Amino acid sequence: MLIRPKAGILDPQGAAVERALPALGFAGVGNVHVGRLVELDVDDPSQLEPMCKKLLANPLVEDYEVQRLDGSG
């Protein structure tokens, strides 16, 4: 599960990284956002969506995206 700050909400972590990169010589970097990655094994993938909504993300302030790594999508 990839969990990101919702667009439009101040992301001070992303802003700090965006300021740091040019100082290290990486030019042309913009729109940096820092989120969270949750990896897990699950028997029933239909549980992933409710898991995100109920606990893993706060839908008021975060967007989430489920990626399945078993080759089925």
Question: Nearest approach, Cβ of 13 to another protein (angstroms)?
Answer: 7
Q: Name residues contacting another protein, limited to 7-66 (CB under 8 A).
A: 9-10, 12-13, 16, 55-56, 58, 60-61
| Among the listed residues 15, 9, 3, the one whose alpha carbon sits nearest the alpha carbon of residue 52 | 3
How is 1-70 classified by DSSP, letter by letter? -EEEEPTTS--HHHHHHHHHHHHTT--S-------EE-----S-GGGHHHHIIIII--TTTEEEE----S
Question: Nearest approach, Cβ of 48 to another protein (angstroms)?
Answer: 16
Question: Nearest approach, Cβ of 72 to another protein (angstroms)?
Answer: 27
Binding site for another protein (CB under 8 A): 5, 9-10, 12-13, 16, 55-56, 58, 60-61
